[in-house]
Amino acid sequence: MFVTTPPSTLAAKSFVNLYGGVYEHSPWIAERLVDDGISPALDSPEKLASAMQVIVERATRDEKMALLRAHPDLAGKLALADLTASSRGEQQGAGLDQCSEDELVRFSTLNDVYKGKFGFPFIFAVTGFHRTDILAAFERRVKNDIDTEFNEALQQVHRIALLRLQAL
């Protein structure tokens, strides 16, 4: 259950203001959900997350790619300087702000290789993981083919959204 006002009782603008950032820099997802209608059946984080996921699944490949590209690099060159508050907190919670020099070099190299190969940043729902786990997943996933990784990145985005909704 939401601590705040149930989503179904919010005016459209209030809903988008509150939930528009659940998907990184992509308020269009909340806007489309409002357009579809928000019933009391969506008044739980899990149900709202599922409804938002359906919006993304209905989106075009270009829209999905833009969603993936809206995410920041993990432990990137900007370190935690230019992140949304949600991303900053998530990355700090995983210890990505405490990387050794060697880890930062590895993350930076992997970020460059990954983006060059896939056209979007590596996305990992870091909550509950340590930076060494994330680095290992990064090293494994950079070897994926584009379709596998595109789908994995979207699943990670949906997990991030659910975790953010649960935090509300």
The catalytic residue among 25, 71, 130, 158 is 71
The helix, strand and coil proportions of the chain, stated in percent and rounded to the nearest 5, come to 65, 0, 35
The amino acid at 153:
A
Q: Tell me how far the alpha carbon of residue 6 is from its chain's centroid.
A: 22
Q: Is 71 a catalytic residue?
A: yes
Residues in the chain: 168
Residue 69: CB atoms within 10 A of its CB come to 13
**Catalytic residue ranges:** 71
